[in-house]
C-alpha cells in the first residue's frame, strides 16, 4: 500500500464521515419515532438541544465529504507516474476492482450530502423545523453508503502496490474493449452532440420556467440529473476529442492535466455544483406549502436555481468554446 499525505487525508475524512453519520443515525431513529414540536416534554427539549449539535457535526463532516471527491480524483491523477502503464487517473483507478466503484460511490454520496446540507439550511430557517424528519430520514439512506465508501476506498488503497502493471486510458476507451467506457467512446459524434445541446436547451428552459412557477421543481431536479449524465457522456463521446485534437483519445481524466491547461477542472467543478444546486432546488421547492417555510422557500429556491443555471451555462459555454477553437474536424 502506498502512503501519501493525500491518502492519509482521504482515510481520515472517510473515517470521520462514516463515524459521524453512524452516530447521527442512532439519533435519527429517535427523531423519527419521538419528535413532536408541539410537545413541551423533557424528551422533546433534549431532542431539540441535541439536534443543534448533531446538525453542526454533520455540516462539517458532509462538507468535508464534498471536498473528498475532488481530493480522491486529484490523488489518483497524481499517482499516475508511479505505476507502469498508467498515463492518468484512469490507469490508477483501473489498478484493481475497487477504484471505479469507489469513485461512483463518492459521486453518489456527494450529491446526497449536498442535498442534506441544503435541506438542513432551509429547515433551520423554519420556526418549527418542519423538515427535521425528512432530513434525518435521508441521513439513514446516506449512512450505509458512507460505510460502503470507507470499506471500498480502504480496499482500493490497500491494493495499490507499485509492482502492479495497469492499463492506460487508451485501452479502456478503445473499440476492442468490451466495457461501458468503450461503448460511450464509440457513440456517433453527430447524434451525441445533438443530444447534448438539446439537453442544454431543456435545462435552461425548464430552469427559467421554474423561477416563475415552483411546481416545475421536480422536473428541474430530474432534468439536472439527466443533464449531468448527458454531460459526462458528451465529454467521453466527443468533447474530449476536440480538446486533445485526437479522434481516438476519449479519456475524461486527461482533461485534468496541465498539458491541456487543466481545463477539466473548469468543466467538472461547475457541472457538479450546478447539478447539486439544481437537484436540491427541485427537492426543496414543494415545501413552500408549509406555513413556516412559505416565505423562506421561494427565495432559497430562486438563489439555488440561479446558481444551477449559471453553472450549467458556464459548462455549456466553455464546451462550445473548446469545440470552436479546436483544429479537429469531427463533422464533415
Q: What is the rounded distance in angstroms from the CA atom of residue 274 to the CA atom of residue 17?
A: 23
The pLDDT assigned to 164 comes to: 73
Specify whether the CB–CB gap between 249 and 232 falls below 8 A.
no
Burial call 51-72: b when 16+ CB within 10 Å, e when fewer:
beebbebbeebbebbbebbebb
Q: Which three cell numbers stand for residue 12?
A: 481520515
Q: What is the rounded distance in angstroms from the CA atom of residue 235 to the CA atom of residue 184?
A: 10
Dihedral angle at the C-alpha atoms of 198, 200, 205, 210, nearest 10 degrees? 130
Q: Which candidate, 208, 245, 227, 207, places its Cα nearest to that of 330?
A: 245
One digit per residue, pLDDT tens: the chain, 332 residues? 678 899 999 999 999 999 999 999 988 888 888 787 777 787 878 887 888 889 899 999 999 999 999 999 999 998 888 877 777 888 889 888 899 999 999 999 999 999 999 999 999 888 888 889 999 999 999 999 999 999 999 999 998 887 777 777 766 776 566 667 667 777 888 899 999 999 999 999 999 999 999 999 999 999 999 999 999 999 998 999 999 998 888 889 999 988 888 999 999 999 999 999 999 999 999 998 888 888 899 999 999 999 999 999 999 999 999 999 998 888 76
The pLDDT assigned to 174 comes to: 66
The pLDDT assigned to 20 comes to: 94
Q: Name 164's Cβ contacts closer than 8 Å, sequence gap at least 6.
A: 83, 84, 95, 96
SS3 131: coil
pTM of the entire structure? 0.93
Q: What is the rounded distance in angstroms from the CA atom of residue 113 to the CA atom of residue 216?
A: 23
From residue 153, alpha-carbon distances to 100, 162, 233 in Å are: 10, 17, 25
Q: How many CB atoms lie within 10 A of CB 74?
A: 14
CA 68-155-14 angle, to 5 degrees, is 30
The pLDDT assigned to 139 comes to: 93
Put residue 85 in one of left, alpha, beta given phi > 0 → left and psi -120 to 50 → alpha. left
Helix and strand numbers, DSSP H then E, in the chain: 12, 0
Q: Which three cell numbers stand for residue 262?
A: 487543466
- Name residue 165's beta-bridge partners: 84
CA 265-250-66 angle, to 5 degrees, is 30
Amino acid at each position: 500500500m502506498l502512503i501519501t499525505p493525500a491518502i492519509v487525508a482521504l482515510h481520515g475524512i472517510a473515517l470521520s464521515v462514516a463515524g459521524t453519520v453512524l452516530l447521527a443515525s442512532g439519533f435519527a431513529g429517535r427523531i423519527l419515532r419521538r419528535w413532536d414540536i408541539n410537545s413541551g416534554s423533557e424528551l422533546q427539549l433534549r431532542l431539540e438541544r441535541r439536534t443543534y449539535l448533531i446538525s453542526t457535526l454533520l455540516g462539517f463532516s458532509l462538507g468535508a465529504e464534498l471536498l473528498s471527491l475532488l481530493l480522491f480524483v486529484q490523488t489518483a491523477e497524481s499517482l499516475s507516474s508511479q505505476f507502469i502503464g498508467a498515463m492518468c487517473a484512469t490507469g490508477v483507478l483501473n489498478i484493481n476492482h475497487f477504484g471505479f466503484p469507489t469513485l461512483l460511490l463518492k459521486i453518489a454520496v456527494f450529491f446526497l450530502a449536498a442535498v442534506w446540507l441544503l435541506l438542513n439550511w432551509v429547515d433551520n430557517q423554519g420556526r418549527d423545523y418542519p423538515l427535521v424528519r425528512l432530513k434525518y430520514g435521508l441521513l439513514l439512506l446516506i449512512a450505509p453508503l458512507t460505510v460502503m465508501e470507507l470499506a471500498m476506498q480502504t480496499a482500493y488503497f490497500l491494493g495499490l502496490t507499485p509492482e502492479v502493471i495497469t492499463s492506460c486510458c487508451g485501452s479502456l476507451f478503445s473499440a476492442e474493449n468490451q466495457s461501458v467506457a468503450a461503448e460511450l467512446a464509440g457513440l456517433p459524434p453527430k447524434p451525441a452532440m445533438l443530444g447534448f445541446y438539446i439537453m442544454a436547451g431543456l435545462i435552461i428552459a425548464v430552469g427559467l420556467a421554474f423561477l416563475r412557477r415552483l411546481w416545475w421543481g421536480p422536473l428541474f431536479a430530474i432534468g439536472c440529473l439527466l443533464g449531468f449524465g448527458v454531460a459526462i457522456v458528451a465529454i467521453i463521446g466527443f468533447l474530449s476529442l476536440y480538446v486533445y485534437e485526437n479522434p481516438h483519445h476519449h479519456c475524461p481524466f486527461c482533461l485534468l492535466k496541465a498539458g491541456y491547461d487543466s481545463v477539466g477542472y473548469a468543466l467538472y467543478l461547475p457541472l457538479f455544483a450546478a447539478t447539486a444546486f439544481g437537484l436540491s432546488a427541485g427537492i426543496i421547492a414543494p415545501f413552500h406549502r408549509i406555513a413556516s417555510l412559505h416565505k423562506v422557500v421561494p427565495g432559497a429556491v430562486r438563489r439555488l436555481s440561479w446558481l444551477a443555471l449559471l453553472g450549467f451555462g458556464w459548462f455549456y459555454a466553455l464546451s462550445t468554446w473548446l469545440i470552436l477553437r479546436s483544429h479537429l474536424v469531427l463533422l464533415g
